[in-house]
Structure 1
Amino acid sequence: MNVDGADRASRSDRSDQAAAFDAIGGRYDEAFPHKEGQLTAVAQLLTQLEPGSRVLDVGCGTGVPTARQLVDAGHSVLGVDLSAGMLELARKQVPEAEFRQADLTGLSAQGPDGIGQFDAITCFFTLLMLERAEIPPALRLLRSLLRPGGRLTLSMVEADLDDAEIPFLGHTIRVSGFLRDELRSVVRDADFEITGEETYAYAPASNDVPPEHQLFLNCRRTGQ
């Protein structure tokens, strides 16, 4: 599947987003100490993977809990994130995994910087950082990084937003979101079958972050 040119997600400048997460660092895990949705979604994914599967963790953050959970289950993990500060923490907390600084929209399976294909991809809250128009092509890009029948586990915050500025742990970040019916449609249009769905009402530990509804989708790449 060709995801170059017009079909590739537009590359907005996200350096301000990366700088915000560099500064937030370990406070992210302090603000979001309870990650039951993530833990449950990965636990479900693990039941669908063959031993020693290759998994891409997109927007890996500090590596905890997802990369840690996958490595502990015996899988090979590549984590990518835009934030160098987050990656520094991830390398310390999950030294068994490989980590690279990269923008989701710049990933490719082939070429000099190609990362190949994977049996599964986790993408927790990373699509939030894109403009709405970028999300459908980003999903098609992720599909191109999966082997046929590969699994995608993703999460979003349910919200009717497009590149809106919000305060976040003392910084300003830009986020987008969909209401759940529209999110399902966008995911299916990218040639994924939705095989499971969970919703969580989440209240972060920090007063700087408002309560939210988190949507978790387990998906399977369809077609060849």
Structure 2
Amino acid sequence: MSSNVFGGRDGASPPRDRTGQAEAFDAIGDRYDEAFPHKEGQISATEWLVASLPAGSRVLDLGCGTGVPTARRLTEAGFEVVGVDLSAGMVARARAQAPGARFHQADIADLGPGGPYDLGGPYDLGRFDAVAAFFSLLMLPRAEIPTALRTVRRLLAPGGLFALSMVEADADDVPIPFLGRRIRVSGYPRAALRQVVEEAGFDVVEETSHGYAPAGADVPPEEHLFLRCRRGD
């Protein structure tokens, strides 16, 4: 599970206040990488992006966490990398560990229509050839995840790539203990995750899963789902 905590706009209803989520990951700090030292599935999905994109491509690391392994690896591969995370502590760590990338403390709602980082907004980040969202959307209630996925699609260039991971679980905004703090998480059974991703306008190229046993004593074993997707046009 990742440090990445985001809200989302859905029109009439404001996103849940996720200040507590951000503060939890500020407090967790370096213990996150200690609790999750093995990231084989995430590394493999990142290498798919590296192998699929030409040098110089623009990649958004949505929920960048500490900046490793994803943002660092993508910059090493010659990509222009932009990372976004709601946790100020994680953004500071990412800047130190992946200095070749640019990082912003922001909510995913800030990247959506009308947000300051939206296309045409005052801090417009532009379009991207690929987006990576590793264990970030699980920090949202299920009602906000389709909106977040549509925001990702909107930021992608035609034919752009999307690497997504979630924890397999039938859960909606459930509070759990996590490395000495409490956070709220959501998940889907794998068929349901694929459906919500496809309904948001993505073609799923490949699906994999990896069992994972975190080093943290209060974090139970997890099944990690990875979808490699392309923006449908």
Q: Under a length normalisation based on structure 2, what TM-score does the superposition of the two structures give?
A: 0.91
* Counterpart Cα distance in 2 of 1:57 and 1:134: 19
Equivalent residue in structure 1 for 2:122, among 112, 115, 127? 112
User: What is the aligned partner in structure 2 of residue 141 from structure 1?
Assistant: 151
Equivalent residue in structure 2 for 1:95, among 95, 99, 123? 99
User: What is the aligned partner in structure 2 of residue 23 from structure 1?
Assistant: 27
Equivalent residue in structure 1 for 2:174, among 147, 164, 182? 164
CA deviations on 1:33-92 (whole Å, 9 max, x unpaired) are 000000000111111101110000000000000001101101010000000001111111
Q: Report if the CA contact (8 A) 1:152-1:218 is conserved.
A: yes
Equivalent residue in structure 1 for 2:214, among 188, 197, 204? 204
Structure 2 unmatched ranges of 5 or more? 1-7, 112-117
Amino acid at match of 1:54: R
* Counterpart Cα distance in 2 of 1:110 and 1:48: 28
What is the percent sequence identity of the aligned residues?
60
User: What is the aligned partner in structure 1 of residue 201 from structure 2?
Assistant: 191
Q: Report if the CA contact (8 A) 2:132-2:163 is conserved.
A: yes
User: What is the aligned partner in structure 1 of residue 186 from structure 2?
Assistant: 176
Count the aligned residue pairs.
220
Residues 1:69 and 2:79 aligned together: no
Q: Report if the CA contact (8 A) 2:10-2:147 is conserved.
A: no
Q: Report if the CA contact (8 A) 1:9-1:134 is conserved.
A: no
Q: Report if the CA contact (8 A) 1:131-1:175 is conserved.
A: yes
Q: Under a length normalisation based on structure 1, what TM-score does the superposition of the two structures give?
A: 0.95
Q: Report if the CA contact (8 A) 1:194-1:220 is conserved.
A: yes
1:23/1:136 CA distance change after superposition, 3 Å: same
1:8/1:73 CA distance change after superposition, 3 Å: farther
171-180 or 4-13, larger mean C-alpha shift: 4-13
* Counterpart Cα distance in 1 of 2:210 and 2:224: 5
* Counterpart Cα distance in 2 of 1:16 and 1:92: 24
Residues 1:80 and 2:84 aligned together: yes
User: What is the aligned partner in structure 2 of residue 36 from structure 1?
Assistant: 40
Amino acid at match of 1:73: A
Q: Report if the CA contact (8 A) 1:9-1:137 is conserved.
A: no
Secondary structure of the equivalent of 1:106?
helix
1:119/1:210 CA distance change after superposition, 3 Å: same
Shift of 1:154: 0.6
User: What is the aligned partner in structure 1 of residue 115 from structure 2?
Assistant: none
Query: What's the Cα RMSD here?
Result: 1.5
CA deviations on 1:172-210 (whole Å, 9 max, x unpaired) are 000001100000000000010000111000000111111
Amino acid at match of 1:101: Q
Amino acid at match of 2:37: P
Structure 1 unmatched ranges of 5 or more? none
